[in-house]
Amino acid sequence: MTLLAFARGPALQAAVLIMIAGICWRLAGIFLLRRRKRFALPRASVTGRIGGAFTTILTRFVPRRTFWPRIAVSVMLSGVFHIGLLIILLGGAPHIQVIHQVTGLTWPNLPKGLIVIVSGLTLASMIGLLIRRVLNPVLRLLSTVDDYLSWLLVFLPVLSGVLLSGETIGGYGTLLALHILSVELLMIWLPFGKLMHMLLVFAGRGAMGIDFARKGAAT
Amino acid sequence: MLARCGFGRRGLLKFAIAMTSSLALPPSVAPVMAANLAKAKRRSVIWLSFQECTGCLETLLRSSSPTIDQLIFDFISLDYQESLMAAAGSAAEQTLREAMAANKGEYLLAIDGSIPVKDGGVYSLTGGRSNLSMLEEVAADAKAVLAIGTCAAYGGIPKAYPNPTGAVGVEDLVSNKPIVNIPGCPPVPEVLSGVLVHFISFGRLPELDDRKRPLAYFGTTIHDQCYRRPFYDQGKFAKSFDDDGARQGWCLFELGCKGPVTHNACASLKWNGGTSFPIEAGHGCIGCSEPDFWDAGGFYTSLAGGSATGWKSAGIAAAVGLAGGAAAALSTRIATPLEDAPASPPEKTPPEKTPPDKLP
Amino acid sequence: MTDFSFLADDALVDALIMEIAGLLRRLIEHGEAGIIDVLGLPLPPSCVASLEQRLGHGEVTVRLDAAGASEIRETGIPGVWWTRHSNEQGRLVAMLIEVTFVPEILKANIADVVRGAERLPALTNVALRARGADVALRARGAGRPHDAS
């Protein structure tokens, strides 16, 4: 079996199954935990508890003015990275193809040149984030294998993807196989490390929002 | 010799010029090739057909440059080929033995079809004799072996899952002879003619890649030579067969074209003497010159997609995950003690509040 | 996006013209012929047409009928010949730019000339009448002196 056939066949099946099982495991493991009993009566709130959850999810996207001087660099690097990745995944023609294959949905794609530019910016921001993590003494102290591994498993797909679309380095078949395999590694690691924040950030912010709304605090 | 056969000197030189261009050799080599061809004795070729559909022979019959008659009358002596020769039965077997003896060590062995090895090779027999043992015997005295078609080169369709006959390609069985793979289902006929002419002119096989395919014809992918490539680069893809985009020449990537990962000469040499090729007819490349192309996940699934799990397996995975997570949560719940609600107000009396007008 | 491909075309054509210039220099200084296989180059058809147009047409056009039709044309640059070879089915099988005094394929080969010389006496009226053939021999340019190259 060629590497590409392996990547598009058994490896893909295994990665998808592990990712689904892992995500369900972690979500069940978190949501089925006992919650702290609240004995105080809920206060009146403008948004209500569910509204509070959604409001907090949105408001936490905007950095607080007080902290801005200290967090500006990391917020901007992180913003370029996240938004860049979103543009690549939702705007790139082959990715829309994959989504179409799974869900049947499709939409017009962005021009390849634009995706390549965005990929370059995404890679640059990722390198910036890594440099920051290594140079900042506090971050360096706090960083674990999970942090570096998660960075690597996101960096490799973006790098292999942009090399593949350029079609200058390496054979198309080999690069495509490596790109798909790197995505599969990402899928396998996703539920078990900090990459799970993809889903949990919304759960966490939502829980905070419900709590604050219950207390009558601003969400 | 060749002038007597009706191929004048200028015709032969023209043919050599065309061949050097096709083989990607420098044009200055053409007079050398023409001179060698004029002097060359017709090379003996023994053609054995194994587990095949005869498509590879059919494609050779439709070769345009040189034509099949030019090939077998002017360039090679096709001493044994079961479909084309007049002899049959024991007369055919005698022909084979005589050809092998007369050209011992010098004949080219051309094979089409894969070779089944399971159960002693009983799944493909010629005259009661297994292809496996025929290959062993005839390859022993051959100068070189040409594996024609994807079946002979890599196993082809008989090797596709579940491969009930244990089919393999020639290179899995022959190790002590030079082998050239000319894959394709079927291969472009001019590729075979090119290889034969090169061998006859220069006495050696052309340069091969790491899959033993002639670099001149298999050095680039279909994608690299495809006339629809500008549309791929611009992101203009046909969404269904023969839609408006497809008719304007838009790329067939989304319809499952395997051009980017397929090495062959179809996009440049084309078929039927340069008439057309599958992509020009509106169907994506199926990758027929690559190993295991039948098991590469479907002709109509694009390279961007693959064959992942069905909904049932996904459901089972989700259930397993939920179960595991629930178990983990449950064990945590059991391990941590329940919080007690405060039963009564605290006993300590609150500190006395200072009346506001008494504050300093 | 603006289409800049016309610039690329020009650069490719310029490069080829410089290569032809180099081959011409070699021909002048050493008498060595050179050939460029046009079909073997990764050139878009517009480039090929542009190059042919720039080189222009010369005084000589030769039609060759051997294993299909071929056309050998001197370009506007003496010594630079544009050759198109087609096979019997009419398909273009080779396109060359030959930098030489006379393309090799046009010259008669000594072995062919010897064979022709042997055949010639059989074409005289005496020989044909002796064979009983009723043929009127028309002077088709036979006997006209031609320059040795």
- Place A218 in a pLDDT band, splitting at 50, 70 and 90: confident
Q: How many CA atoms lie within 13 A of B53 on its CB side?
A: 13
CB contact under 8 A, C70 and B7: no
CA distances to C19, C23, C31 from C26, in Å: 11, 5, 7
0.90 exceeded by pTM? no
Where is pLDDT greater, at A155 or B225? A155
The reply to whether C77 and C136 lie within a common domain is no
**pLDDT at residue A214, as a whole number:** 87
The reply to whether C93 and C121 lie within a common domain is no
- State the Cα–Cα distance between residues C138 and B316, nearest whole angstrom: 94
| Helix ranges restricted to H, chain A | 3-8, 10-31, 48-59, 68-91, 93-103, 112-135, 137-142, 145-166, 172-189, 197-215
Q: Which of B224, B239, B240, B254 to mutate to test the interface with A (most CBs of A within 10 A)?
A: B254
The reply to whether C80 and C120 lie within a common domain is no
The reply to whether C38 and C68 lie within a common domain is yes
Tell me which residue in B261, B325, B336 faces A4 most closely, judged by beta carbons. Answer: B261
Q: What is the CATH number of the domain that holds C33?
A: 3.30.1370.140
| pLDDT tens figures, A23-70 | 999 999 999 998 888 888 888 777 778 888 999 999 999 998 999 999
Does residue C42 form part of some domain?
Answer: yes
Q: Beta strands of chain B (E only): which ranges?
A: 43-49, 76-80, 108-112, 115-116, 125-126, 129-130, 144-148, 167-168, 179-182
Tell me which residue in A1, A23, A101 faces B305 most closely, judged by beta carbons. Answer: A101
The reply to whether C125 and C65 lie within a common domain is no
* DSSP category for residue C142: T
Q: Which residues of C touch chain B, with CB atoms under 8 Å apart?
A: 35-37, 39-40, 64, 66-68, 70, 85, 87, 89, 91, 93-94, 96, 104-105, 109, 111-112
Range(s) of the domain holding residue C32: 5-103
The reply to whether C43 and C65 lie within a common domain is yes
- What is the greatest pairwise CA distance in chain A? 65
Mean pLDDT, residues C77-81 taken together = 95
Q: Is B64 on the interface with C (CB under 8 A)?
A: yes
**C81: chain B residues, CB-CB within 8 Å:** none
| Residues C90/C71, Cβ–Cβ less than 8 Å | no
| Closest residue on chain B to C71 (Cα) | B14
The reply to whether C80 and C134 lie within a common domain is no
CB contact under 8 A, B324 and A180: no
CB contact under 8 A, B18 and C109: no
| pLDDT tens figures, B299-312 | 999 999 888 778 89
Counting the structural domains of chain C, the total is: 2
Does residue C120 form part of some domain?
Answer: yes
Given a cut of 60, whether residue C3 has pLDDT beyond it is no
The reply to whether C119 and C56 lie within a common domain is no
**A3: chain B residues, CB-CB within 8 Å:** none
Residue A175 backbone zone (phi > 0: left; psi -120 to 50: alpha; other: beta): alpha
Token pair recorded at residue C86? 């087609």
| Closest residue on chain B to A161 (Cα) | B304
Mean of per-residue pLDDT scores for chain B: 88
- State the Cα–Cα distance between residues B309 and B294, nearest whole angstrom: 19
The reply to whether C75 and C134 lie within a common domain is no
Is residue B99 classed as helix, strand or coil in its secondary structure?
helix
Given a cut of 70, whether residue C143 has pLDDT beyond it is no
Q: What is the DSSP string of B228-256?
A: THHHHHHT-B--STT-HHHHTT-B-GGGT
CB contact under 8 A, B336 and A34: yes
The reply to whether C43 and C9 lie within a common domain is yes
- Place C140 in a pLDDT band, splitting at 50, 70 and 90: very low
**pLDDT at residue C148, as a whole number:** 36
CA distances to B164, C27, C73, C135 from C55, in Å: 62, 18, 11, 46
Mean pLDDT, residues B188-205 taken together = 90
The reply to whether C47 and C27 lie within a common domain is yes
Does residue C149 form part of some domain?
Answer: no
| Residues A191/A22, Cβ–Cβ less than 8 Å | yes
Does residue C147 form part of some domain?
Answer: no
Nearest partner of A175 among A190, A159, A186, A164, judged by Cα? A164
CB contact under 8 A, B306 and A97: no
The reply to whether C19 and C47 lie within a common domain is yes
